[in-house]
Chain A
Amino acid sequence: MKSLFKLFFTPYIKVWFIYLLLHIGFFSVQALQPHLNDAFANALLSLRSMFLALGWLIFLVSTFSYNISWMINTHYSRAKLIVYYFLEQTVKIILVFFPYLVIVIAGGLKRKKSNIDFSVIVNNISDAEVNTSAVKNMFEFASEFAWKLPLLLVAFLLIFYTIPLIVSQSRTANTINGVAWGNRKEKIKRGFIVAISILIGFQTIEVMSKSEFISEFIFFIVFLMVSVYFIVNRFNLLRLKTHAVLLAVFFFMGMTYYSLMYMHQKSVIISTKSSPEVRLDYYLGLEILSPKVSEGLLEKFLVLIEDKDDLKKFLSINPNFNFNFLLDHIFNKNNKHTISHQWALLEHVNTRESFSEDKSKDLIGRIIQFNKNKKEIESLFYLNKFIKKYKISDTNYIDSIYQQKTKFTDFVALKYTRHHLPKEQQSKFLMKYKGYLKPSRVVSVFGKDKVPKEYMDYINRK
């Protein structure tokens, strides 16, 4: 065992020191960030993020595994090699994350000593609950994904167990593979397995594309499974049928470990002294919003968000926006956002709120106010949905919309007439404004078959 550490761990430590030095450099840059040129600091910090991925590689790429074939039984028993391997891997994982552990501990100590008000982001629980609830939250989080495990397990066993088994079981297998592929039956069987694997692979990619967590999780498992498979294959420890069981065990271990890491990531502490831009980035990255964020700051965030997807994400993590607050933001004339940005907000309101008629009138009033002087009517698709959902049967109110006599108000009034008034009322309004309303506009809103008979006769006579 002593020689194993000397042979394979000592060289690793040298590489790790370089890794540590680079991290110290990166953390120094982070500390100096407010005084640095943003582009430069960001470039360096992005490099550090990439470095975290490289850190994983440092512990996965091990000269030890390459040397196993000559070590089994000739120099060491299997048991010793396995014990060494697991000790080595554990220490390496700790060493890879050491710089981050230091930062977390240092951050905790700093927080204890300082009087700065911090917002703590752990699933919306308050500051005092952080320590006691972290583990509980981790398990809740893990159970949230529990149903996906069998599916993922099958996918991974096929992709990362069956295919490597077919393609590269061992060097000897490779040479003999050529003969095996000559067998037609075998060829069909393998072709079928590969086709199914590719199909499941695509399904997995589709699932990955839908969730950031799943994709991160899958990448983590890919690393884990490939490394485990590689080691097991090298060790030649078990007969082939038992590999699957071993990999399944590692899969569940990986799941728990990743959940822990994810929860750790979610426990990041965000200082209220940070700029709104930095805090917004954190909240969007973590997909959790602190309950301590003030309305003023929310307004700032809403102004800062430019990307529509970011906006949707932001709204989804804070579903309890105050209705009037949102409407004020949407229809603020100083708001420089695009119309689609505003409609995205309205759509959010649409899905969350159920309005009284008065609220609906208020909302429509604001929409009209905002759009009436615009030459082009934008986002009619969204407007249709709103008009259909928010019922207004007050004919006086609809009449007041007709009387505003703009292209946009005509459109809104006709829509309300069409969707929320009985036939005789529809006819009454159309005949009242027959000299003003363009027949083509009426037909386009009502549809040829639905235009009231009296108005249709008027058009035909004309």
Chain B
Amino acid sequence: MIKIQNISKRYFDNTVIDNVSLDLPEGQFITLLGPNGAGKSTLLRMMAGNELPDKGNVLYKGTSLGRFNFPHVNEIGFVHEKIEYISHCSVEKFVERLKCDQKFWDQKYFDYLVDKRKLDISKNYKTYSRGQKMQIALIINLAMRPKVLLLDEITSVVDVYGRKFFLDELRKFVDQKNTVIITTNIVNELEYYTDHLIIIKNSKVQLNLPVENVGVEFKKLRKLHDQRHPVFEDEKCVWAGVNSDHSVSYIIESSVAKKYNINDEFYDRRQSTLEDVFIYYFTKRDENEKSI
């Protein structure tokens, strides 16, 4: 559905995205992970057509998102952390005016979401709290009934009940064969919802795989304080937390683990989580040693 072809983006001397190519699957909940400044938001902005790549192209259904007469408007929704609907009227009126150009606007769904979140839409957008603003932006974008919804760091400002509510709604949205591409720093909350994982590091895509393959590609190891094994000395074996039985968890790529003769006692029965994979890619070796 969205095809990214060799795109690069630079801000002066800093390459934010370097020759990235992706073919994003349709009808999936795609989680895009990366540390701050990795280029996730820039990539999302380019997927929304908000920003143009210096090189390469982003295509939606075979059409460039930079095209002046983009034919698939209303099919992409974009909610980002700094979204502002600046208007001089109430949200109710704003939506009333906005929807007359929306092909797929679902008023019933909008009313349902507003009712569920108990939002008073008779006030001006600027009077709401940050979390409420984000919820309104999400509701508007969901009621637009787009085919693709791009969400940039939206969960950090919404309260825990709100997050659960919207993630459930997004799951339903995906189940209707739509696509969600989301970036977040709260990784564990998306564990249950994610179908596909993309990790960006150093301006490049490091990992791009369906979430069911995470368990295949990564193995989780655990060791007690007095246990020793050469695999734990390998710099690709990364500390992944301490367990309740005081054992320490490690994450390692399956291909690397195969090189060592590892007894079953060292394998953790639990499957590697998104958070483990995130830690694997973004923990520096020196931090790893310190943790040990």
| Interface set of A (CB-CB < 8 Å, partner B) | 1-4, 6-7, 10-11, 14, 63, 66-67, 69-70, 72-80, 82, 169-173, 175-177, 179-180, 183, 186, 236, 238-239
Contacts and interface: CB of A to CB of B under 8 A. Distances in A.
18 contacts: A3-B100, A3-B102, A7-B94, A7-B98, A14-B88, A67-B87, A70-B80, A73-B48, A73-B70, A74-B144, A77-B70, A79-B69, A169-B11, A170-B11, A176-B14, A176-B16, A177-B12, A236-B50
A175 B82 CA distance: 14
Nearest to A11: B88
A180 B87 contact: no
A70 B81 CA distance: 11
Contacts, number: 116
A79 B70 CA distance: 8
A3 B73 contact: no
Given A11-B87, A177-B12, A180-B11, A239 B54 contact: yes
A236 B70 CA distance: 15
Contact of B50 (A67, A69, A77, A239): A69
A331 to B, nearest CB: 66
B82 A73 contact: no
A66 B86 contact: yes
B186 interface: no
A48 B221 CA distance: 78
Residue with the highest number of chain A CB atoms closer than 10 Å, among B14, B71, B72, B144: B14
Contact of A3 (B84, B85, B99, B137): B99
A67 B82 CA distance: 11
Contacts of B141: 74
Given A3-B99, A172-B16, A78 B68 contact: yes
B52 interface: yes
B146 interface: yes
Given A3-B99, A69-B50, A236-B50, A172 B11 contact: yes
Given A76-B73, A176-B14, 16 more contacts: A70-B85, A70-B137, A73-B48, A73-B78, A74-B48, A75-B144, A77-B70, A77-B73, A78-B49, A78-B69, A82-B68, A173-B11, A176-B37, A179-B14, A186-B13, A236-B52
A73 B37 contact: no
Contacts of B84: 66-67
A183 B13 CA distance: 9
B224 to A, nearest CB: 43
A183 B42 CA distance: 22
Contacts of A10: 97
Nearest to A173: B11
Contact of B76 (A14, A73, A176): A73
A445 B36 CA distance: 83
A13 to B, nearest CB: 11
B101 interface: yes
B282 to A, nearest CB: 18
A63 B146 CA distance: 25
Range of interface residues on chain B? Answer: 35 or more
A186 B12 contact: yes
A6 B12 contact: no
B41 interface: yes
* B contact patch SS: loop
Interface string B59-71: 0000001111111
A7 B97 contact: yes
Given A176-B14, A236-B50, A7 B70 contact: no
A186 B78 CA distance: 34
B263 to A, nearest CB: 46
B12 A176 contact: yes
Contacts of B80: 70
A180 B14 contact: yes
Interface in B71-126: 71-74, 76-80, 82-89, 94, 97-102
A4 B73 CA distance: 14
Contacts of A173: 11-12
A303 B109 CA distance: 79
Contacts of B146: 74
A259 B263 CA distance: 86
Contacts of B82: 171
Interface in B241-274: none
B234 interface: no
Nearest to A169: B11
Contacts of A186: 12-13
A238 B41 CA distance: 19
Contacts of B85: 67, 70
B51 interface: yes
B100 A6 contact: yes
Contact of A7 (B14, B42, B87): B87
Contacts of B98: 3, 7, 75
Contact of B11 (A63, A69, A176, A238): A176
A172 B68 contact: no
A329 B78 CA distance: 76
Contacts of B13: 180, 183, 186
Given A67-B86, A176-B12, A79 B41 contact: no
Nearest to B96: A6
A4 B69 CA distance: 16
